[in-house]
Chain A
């Protein structure tokens, strides 16, 4: 069974640009969550999607957005990139059953210059 796939693995963008990251969950999983990891702030929850609906959102500005498609694949978008957006962006998928674990992808390393 394939794991969680995130693309691209590495990305370099310029300040002011926008970026779209992709996450393909484990087959059959309906929930996808996104996290940002930086050395200073650690792992922080961005948002969660379940059956194409955002169910929960962390404390991030509106420049961070996401969506989920009918096949459960998810994308997150960051507009007007700032230097502080440089981070490892992680996606996690879960089955939809109560009391189960989340499986994380390898992440996308975004560098904003």
Chain B
């Protein structure tokens, strides 16, 4: 799986958009970008994933650059409950392979 690079921490004001970057310059053509988050002492929670097109769901939007070497997770209106560690993972989702390699992630703090 390709390696990812994320900033260790970020702050965001409540109600504003949180933009979390991820660099994955060695991504290969069949690797997807997944985002998970982990709120303190809980299990990681799936947020969104994509291959090359931008994706949006009820939680967030995922913007992947045209060359696929980086992506941005956008939480459109951050709340205090979005404070968590956000992990960007690049992997090939073949069959049901759940072997995910987590990095250190970005600790997002949403402030009032």
Stretch from B12-20, B21-29, B36-44, B61-69 contacting the other chain: B36-44
Residues of B contacting A93 in the complex (Cβ-Cβ under 8 angstroms): 98
Known A98-B93, A99-B93; judge A48-B43 contact (CB<8 A). no
Residues of A within 8 Å of B104, CB to CB, are 42
Q: Which residue of B lies closest to A49 (CB)?
A: B98
Number of A residues, CB within 8 Å of B: 34
Q: Which of B29-71 contact A (CB under 8 A)?
A: 32, 34, 38, 41-46, 49
A interface SS class: strand
In the bound complex, how far is the Cα of B105 from the Cα of A92, in angstroms?
18
Which chain A residue lies CB-closest to B101? Answer: A45
A92-113 to B contact mask, C-beta < 8 Å, 1/0: 1111111111111111010000
B-contact 0/1 string along A42-85, CB 8 Å cutoff: 11110010100001101000000000000000000000000000
Min CB distance B32 to A, Å, is 7
* A67–B54 alpha-carbon span in the complex (Å): 38
Are B99 and A33 in contact, CB atoms less than 8 angstroms apart?
A: yes
A-B contacts, 27 listed (Cβ < 8 Å): A31-B96, A31-B97, A32-B98, A33-B99, A42-B104, A42-B105, A43-B38, A45-B99, A45-B101, A48-B98, A50-B95, A56-B97, A90-B44, A92-B43, A92-B98, A93-B98, A94-B98, A96-B96, A98-B95, A100-B96, A101-B34, A102-B100, A103-B46, A104-B44, A104-B45, A106-B43, A109-B41
The one of A50, A98, A101 in contact with B49, judged by C-beta atoms closer than 8 angstroms, is: A101
